[in-house]
Structure 1
Amino acid sequence: MHIHTPILIVGILISLLILISPVNAAETGSVEIISDPGNAEVYITGQFRGYTPITISELRPGLTRISVRRPNYQNWDGVAYITPGATVRLEPELARTGTVFRNTGNIVITTHPEAVVLQNQNYVGVTDEDGSLIIARTDLGAHLITIEKEGYYSYQEYTTVYPGKTSGIVKELQPLTTPEPAPPVPTPDLRVSPVPTPPEQSAPAPAIIIAGIVAASLAAGVMRRF
């Protein structure tokens, strides 16, 4: 089968238009940032996104690094673990220049003994015989903690780490012999950002690629009739 060059170009252009379309909203999450004081600059992975208070949507799932900056104040550098369809809330308190500021904090987990603990989907350790585990000197911001133990339902909860402070999660896991508990991760927040922000891009899904190929083939068929 012979396809003329113009027809092939049309097919490629249609495929590219489909492939570079924004990420599906259901596959992305959001972060809401309310700083004290307000009107602070917000940067995500080094890119300026607006001023606080702000909700930034269409972020790819996973760990996202955030910086909040304001003149005469020390930079607040932290993280937020983005979950699809949910909004993570951050309330950074900016310290004035020249004051003591600790850029890490701690997380204490209290649950069953010998439970596996994940931080942002990464293994960090197992609770001791008293059911405790300390995650020391961790980044500021919102972290997703997962607790797992054989014979029990796994549990997930966000905890926020503040400068020089210790956050805690106390959870008694539910045995598998009982009804499955409702998902504890945050529900979607439908508020939109007051400042328009460009969407984060991710790799196109296989279905989008297939749709692009089909569209290119249809375009080629139409052009051959003329």
Structure 2
Amino acid sequence: MIQSLEGKSITEPMKGVGLLKEIIFIFDYICPYCYLMLPEIERLYSEHRIKVSWIPTEIYPEIPPEGTDLKNFLGTRKVEKAYKLIKAQAKKKNLVFYLPERIYNTRLARMLTAYAFNKVPMEEILHAFYNSVFVYNKNIGDHRVLQKICLQLGISWDDFLQRMEDEHLLAVIGSWEDMIKPYSVEVVPTIASGENILAEGVCSYEELVKMINK
């Protein structure tokens, strides 16, 4: 099982500039550490000649659709200790962060991402989901919440429902799973390039720059 440590959706570098590196960012929408790393990855591809493949995964697929109490699931002491660290880092990054009381299943969120990735910029998809979880504390396994995200992104909820078992949609998810398989991912976020894992968990922007320039 992949644990939380602390698509074809590709973000292209500036036109006319040769690629320096291609990286893979493996994340889950319920992981606050992935949320903390989002500004660093966005800054990385805006300031350097890199291409980013955003790969959503599920760290706790056993969680029921209605979610489960966060402290009961992970342990009260672990949650309270992590919350202090995450809140402090979020403040430094100017990120709004409210810890949800429940932890939710992200299977449908990943499926909706697969449906939306070639219709909407991945950055918009990521922000829509992360805001739902860590700003508004919504259950992104709930159809009503996902329907609102579709409205926000300008995509059809009804069409998504009809295509949930579509071969193309399942193929996208299968391609994501194939991409992360060689890395034996155990924690998220994981940042990889080529055959190597560059980083696991939260790291600074400066550390990321050093890693991609090695």
Fold-level similarity (TM above 0.5): no
**Greater strand proportion:** 1
| TM-score range for the pair, normalised by the shorter chain length | under 0.3
Task: Report 1 or 2 for greater relative contact order, CA contacts < 8 Å, sequence distance ≥ 6.
Answer: 2
TM-score, length basis structure 2? 0.27
Who wins on radius of gyration, i.e. which is larger? 1
